[in-house]
Every structure is written in structure tokens, then in C-alpha cells.
Amino acid sequence: MKIAVAVFPGSNCEHDVEHALGLLGADVELMWHQEDDLSEFSAVVLPGGFAHGDYLRTGAIARFSPIMDEVSRLAEGGFPILGICNGFQILCEADLLPGALVANRDLNFICSMVHVRVESTAGVLTRDAEVGQVLRIPLNSYEGNFVADAATLDELEASGRVLLRYCDPAGNVTDEANPNGSARNIAAIADPGGNVVGIMPHPERAAEDVLGSSDGRVLLASFVHAAEEASR
């Protein structure tokens, strides 16, 4: 079983993802965005960074990279696809996930640890976690503010596709605990199949105790386990 990490011009978290997935025993390969054949892979991660300089809109140009045709094909086939930060933005631009990510409520670049609460295990990012579990992982973004129309938000909630919400350390989902103004405190969502997931904070930067938190590990382990199942 192999996991591809897509590398766009301007990606900057690909090695962190490679390292963190490697800690979990996954066989990971970095794949340049011009690649048009991912047939040997069972899962793909779109890492954080500033693909194509974030020009026009975050993810707007990256979604047309050749590798994205393969990502769409794998997504349709039920294979696990994970977008982290900029990768989440790309998945929204590509219409593989609903909504969009816009500038943070306070127009600040946020680089700090945040708390998120597991809301649902119906996605490949949270399947090994427990509902109600509070995780401490870092957020590192300017356009992290998730928006969607009310009908889309209602549908996401009703179908268990809101995977994580920003919360306080005790797990209370409040406006004060919402770092960037995201609609309904949403930090991570899934597509209807649960195999395409997007998360704004960075689990790969909280995958070992030496980094100050290993809370992101359960999320990455969920993804690796889903990739293992998909490869069978």
C-alpha cells in the first residue's frame, strides 16, 4: 500500500506529511503535480503551503494541475483523499468538497495551537477517533475561514460530514474558541462518501511528543488505516 503526497509549486508541508505518515508505517512517495498516473497509489494527501503562490484564490490554479484528474478519479473510486490546509482549499476549489475558505475573521495570519472536537467518525480522517475527543493541533493559515451557504452547512451537519469543530480546551464549541470565524466552528469536513476529507489545522505537525502534541496522530492513523483497507 502506497500513499502519494502531491507536491505543487509552493507546497511546503510535503516533507512533514511524509515524515508523519512514515512514523505510522506508511509507504509514502512525493509526486509532482504534473504527474498524471497515480494508479499504484491507494490514497493521496494534498499538503499545506501556497500552491502556485495562492495567486487568484487559494487552490484556484492548483485544481487544474494534471495530478488533480487522478485525485478526482481516485476520489470517485472511494480511495482516501486528504487535504490539509492549502490542500483543503484545493479540494474545495476542485468541487471535491463543498464550501470555500476565505480570509480569517480578524484578517490575521494565525499560527498557534488550537483545540478541535471530534464531531463524527464518518470520514477517513476520524474513523479511529472517538466522538467528543478533544485534540490539540496547530493552525497555520490566513485563509482558514470556512464558508458555505446555510443549506450546505445544514446538509453537512445532518449527514455527519462535519468531522471536527474548533472548541476550547474543555471541548466547548463557542464563538470565543473559533480562531478564524469558520461557519459553525467547522475545522474539518468530508464528502458524502467519507473518503475525501479536508482539515484546516495540521495533524502532521502534532504527530510526536517532541513537537508538543501527538494529538494529530489519531487522525493520520485513521487515514493510513483507510488507505490500507482501500488497497485490498
Partner 1 sequence: MSEPVRFRVRVMRKAGLADPEGATTTKALRDLGYTEVTAVHFGRDIVVELAGDDVAAAEARVHEMCERLLANPVIEDFTVERL
By the 8 A CB rule, do 124 and 194 touch? Answer: yes
- 148 touches partner 1 (CB under 8 A): yes
Of 2, 15, 105, 225, the one binding partner 1 (CB under 8 A) is 105
Is 85 part of the annotated catalytic residue set? yes
Contact set for partner 1, span 114-133 (CB under 8 A): none
- 109 touches partner 1 (CB under 8 A): no
C-alpha cell read off for 210: 517532541
DSSP-based three-state secondary structure for 93: helix
In the complex, minimum distance from the CB of residue 150 to partner 1, in angstroms, rounded to a whole number: 10
In the complex, minimum distance from the CB of residue 211 to partner 1, in angstroms, rounded to a whole number: 31
Active site residue: 13, 85, 92, 167, which one? 85
Among residues 199, 227, 229, the alpha carbon closest in space to that of 135 is found at 199
Q: How far is CA 47 from CA 13, 18, 35, 87, 198, in A?
A: 6, 10, 16, 5, 10
Element (H, E) at 118: strand 110-118
Residue 171 CB partners (closer than 8 Å, separation 6+): 115, 117, 132, 134
Is 202 part of the annotated catalytic residue set? yes
In the complex, minimum distance from the CB of residue 60 to partner 1, in angstroms, rounded to a whole number: 6
Q: Binding-site residue total for partner 1 (CB under 8 A)?
A: 20
C-alpha cell read off for 132: 467528543
In the complex, minimum distance from the CB of residue 61 to partner 1, in angstroms, rounded to a whole number: 8
Question: Which region, judged by CB under 8 A, interacts with partner 1, from 18-26, 60-68, 128-136, 196-204?
Answer: 60-68
Binding site for partner 1 (CB under 8 A): 56-57, 60-61, 64, 92-93, 98-100, 102-107, 145, 147-148, 181
